[in-house]
Amino acid sequence: MANLNNFDANNVDPSVALDPIPAGKYIAVITETEMKPTKAGGGKYLQLTFQIVDGDHKGRLVWARLNLENKSEMTVKIARGELSAICRAVGVMAPKDSVELHNIPLEINVGLKKRDDNGEFTNVIKGYGKKGCGGAAGARVPVGVGPGSLGGTPPWKR
């Protein structure tokens, strides 16, 4: 049994299950970053929280996890490439702390992915770009593409 401190549901709006946002490009900012241990304990990932700041889905959150410390060199290489894409999109090329990436608008390319555990769809970030570049050459940096990358096909699809 737990004390609910005089909770009254009449005074609180009920939470509503949120469906994933549609695939597309959105203007967002990074609002939170946190380094966390991997589930297996053999590494660490940087979790980034993106908040959409414009359009019909303003206020919605999307997350990215970058496995920056991992036993797999390939996993780290992919994560570092994604971090490079984020840095280029926000114009901070050599951040000393992840907080330097916060609150700078950028374009995120959001997709949908079917979850393995329950078969439902969830959002994934497929790429990053500078805000307002509108498709100019070099403006968008898709995840897994860029200097030193392996090309546009993810390793698990080869």
Q: Is 155 within a domain?
A: no
* Cα–Cα dist 107/156, whole Å: 25
Q: Is 100 within a domain?
A: yes
Closest CA to 52 of 68, 36, 32, 29: 29
How confident is residue 140, by pLDDT bands cut at 50, 70 and 90?
very low
Q: Is 158 within a domain?
A: no
Q: Is 70 within a domain?
A: yes
- Structural domain that includes position 123: 19-143
Q: Is 38 within a domain?
A: yes
Q: Is 152 within a domain?
A: no
Q: Is 5 within a domain?
A: no
Q: pLDDT digit string (tens) for 111-134?
A: 999 999 999 999 999 999 999 865
pTM of the model: 0.77
Q: pLDDT digit string (tens) for 78-93?
A: 999 999 999 999 999 9
Domain tally, the chain: 1
Q: What CATH number is given to the structural domain containing 97? A: 2.40.50
- The secondary structure element, H or E, covering residue 87 is helix 73-90
- What lies within 8 Å, CB to CB, of 33 at 6+ separation is 46, 47, 48, 49, 98, 99, 101, 102
Q: Is 150 within a domain?
A: no
